[in-house]
């Protein structure tokens, strides 16, 4: 055996050695630590875990908040990664995200953690026990439902910061709740154009398109 052949296994063993230490190193200068428990989602500025509820907005504070973009609402979302991405979307645009139960996951789901969330992001989130609670807490807001059943395009609406952009659950075994997406509380139904016979966009991709169109119309107020 040559000297090079003898060194190769040793180098491979060294590179694969102590993976916990390598992960810990990755988080050394950030808010995240590798030894969080599975039910810990958000941290304060010092890296200490805090409860999800403590980090979120109340419905009353959300209704009273002055926003530069419309509010975003996910009715009964089922995929934690989509909601994690939406939370980050709302944090960077100054949008308030309303999540209406029942949710298809626990808010402490580790897939939400993988979105890189911290408590600053969760400060843009409101949790409602049902849809009636959302409607009652935002009586002066227009609800604009995004649905494939609409004929009007999303670009044909003049958005206001007080609007609520409503998105239903991700496709699955449960049918779309048309009593929510087309009920009397809905002021407008709009859709995103797509090529025919193709599957729908990812939920948060759709929400991102809608939020940025509304923010563009409003002059990207608060952005840079």
Q: Which tokens sit at 167?
A: 């998105």
Which one, of 143, 147, 145, 158, lies nearest residue 216 by Cα?
158
Give the Cα separation of 101 and 99 in Å (integer): 7
Find out whether 112 is annotated in a ligand binding site: no
DSSP state, residue 109: -
Q: Are 191 and 89 in contact (CB under 8 A)?
A: no
Give the Cα separation of 114 and 61 in Å (integer): 28
Q: Are 157 and 82 in contact (CB under 8 A)?
A: no
Find out whether 200 is annotated in a ligand binding site: yes
Helices (H), 94-222: 110-113, 119-122, 131-137, 178-181, 203-217
Find out whether 84 is annotated in a ligand binding site: no
Strand, coil or helix: 191? strand
Give the Cα separation of 64 and 41 in Å (integer): 26
Q: How many residues does the chain have?
A: 224
Q: Which residues are annotated as a binding site for S-adenosyl-L-methionine?
A: 168, 192, 200
Annotated binding site, which residues? 168, 192, 200
């Amino acid at each position: 055996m040559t000297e090079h052949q003898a060194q190769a296994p040793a180098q491979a063993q060294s590179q694969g050695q102590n993976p916990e230490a390598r992960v810990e190193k990755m988080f050394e200068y950030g808010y995240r630590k590798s030894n969080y428990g599975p039910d810990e989602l958000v941290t304060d500025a010092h890296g200490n875990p805090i409860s999800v509820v403590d980090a979120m907005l109340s419905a009353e504070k959300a209704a009273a908040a002055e926003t530069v973009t419309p509010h975003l609402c996910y009715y009964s979302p089922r995929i934690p990664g989509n909601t994690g991405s939406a939370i980050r979307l709302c944090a960077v645009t100054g949008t308030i995200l309303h999540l209406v139960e029942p949710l298809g996951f626990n808010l402490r789901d580790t897939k939400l953690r993988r979105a890189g969330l911290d408590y600053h992001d969760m400060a843009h989130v409101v949790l409602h026990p049902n849809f009636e609670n959302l409607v009652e807490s935002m009586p002066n807001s227009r609800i604009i439902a995004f649905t494939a059943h609409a004929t009007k395009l999303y670009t044909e609406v003049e958005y206001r910061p007080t609007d609520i952009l409503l998105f239903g659950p991700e496709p699955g075994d449960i049918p779309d709740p048309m009593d929510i997406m087309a009920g009397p509380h809905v002021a407008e139904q709009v859709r995103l154009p797509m090529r025919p016979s193709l599957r729908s966009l990812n939920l948060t991709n759709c929400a991102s398109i809608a939020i940025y169109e509304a923010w563009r119309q409003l002059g990207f107020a608060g952005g840079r």
